Amino acid sequence: MGLLEELGYENVRHYVGGMADWKESGRPLEAQKAGKAEAATAGKPIASLPPQRFLIAGRDEWLQRALDAVANSSFSALLGIWLWMVIGFGVAYWVGGIWLASGLTEGGTAVASGWRGLFTALYFSFVTATSLGFGDVLPVGSLRILAIAEAAAGLLLFGCIISKLVSRRQEQLIEEIHRIAFEDRLGRVRTNLHLVLSELQSISSGCAEGSLPTDRILPRAESAAMVFIGELHAVHDLLYRPQQLPEEAVFEAILAALAAGLREFSDLMGRLPEARSHSILSSSARSISSLAGEICGECVPRDYAPELKLWMDRIQELARGLSKAEALPS
């Protein structure tokens, strides 16, 4: 009933039998209000409807396509269109002055129809398109309508050219921001891997000397393992979803730090028999082994230098050794 009321029907009330039963019983039906557009077109074939609505839709579609074409054009293409438009209007002024009784005037006298007249018409066209309007050359008669059209078209195209310049500068700034962010990300990965390696070495030294109790070793090892997993995910993104490729020297340093950290983590897990009963550390070790095992020189989607592939294969070999260690219960 609420929908019928929104459509403009009046005297709407609930009837148990529904609309079908109401019609079969021959009861009266109320038409929609006459002021509604739907009532005006109800029951009429499409061919009998006024074409204004379809003309407006077609015009809007054509305008949208034209705007999309201008937006997708390059800076040089827009500049070329603007120059050819100015030259075309200049020729139109010159030809119009020859065919019509009145054309362009300069200093109160009509512009000649020779080459000098063509140059004057081109000069007036450039002045009109840029909206300078010095007033030394004036259109007369119907050419004033042409000058107004050129001024409007020139402003629109010139505005598009300026927006292209601004957007190009914005794209350069965005690329620079992405580059700085990418370099900062690589720096964080290298720093975190070195921190993990230092922490693992410190824990291993404490285990060997017996200076660290077990209740302090396991939480530190767990924290280092969680950071290690996060950096492994970052290396995975660089290998399998690269938005930008790092320099080979930087990438080699990252892989070397990753291999050193993985080797140190394997040695630490071998020295910690308590890791078998520590579910979080054991689960982290399995995640590290799984992530590192997917790094190899042949399985990555891009072709890297031989030195980088050797480091990847070394990381996969260390991952296999970690998965076979006794510290990783199945």
Give pLDDT, residue 9: 64
Least confident of 14-18, 33-37, 292-296: 33-37
pTM over 0.75: no
CA gap 256, 312 in Å, rounded:
9
CA distances from 308 to 102, 233, 302 (A): 78, 18, 11
Q: What's the mean per-residue pLDDT of the chain?
A: 79
pLDDT digits (tens, 9 = 90+) for 105-118: 888 788 888 888 89
* Residue 152 CA: distances (Å) to CA of 41, 86, 89, 329: 39, 12, 12, 77
Query: What one-letter code names the amino acid at 41?
Result: T
Q: What percent of the chain has pLDDT over 70?
A: 76
The predicted model gives 139-164 an average pLDDT of: 87
**Taking residues 281-300, what's their average pLDDT?**
86
- In 3-state terms, what secondary structure has residue 138? strand
pLDDT of residue 330: 41
Mean pLDDT of 123-138: 88
Rounded CA-CA distance 32/56 in Å is 26
Q: What is the pLDDT of residue 39?
A: 47
* Contact status, residue 121 vs residue 91, Cβ threshold 8 Å: yes
Report pLDDT for 196: 93
- pLDDT value of position 163: 83
Residues 38-49 have a mean pLDDT of: 46
Q: 254 pLDDT exceeds 50?
A: yes
Q: What is the pLDDT of residue 47?
A: 47
Residues 6+ apart with CB under 8 A from 278: 218, 222
Nearest one of 295, 189, 304, 187 to 245, comparing CA atoms:
304
Query: How do strand 104-106 and strand 137-139 relate by DSSP bridges?
Result: antiparallel
Helical ranges in 241-298 per DSSP H: 248-271, 279-293
Coil, strand or helix at 220: helix
State the pLDDT at residue 29: 66
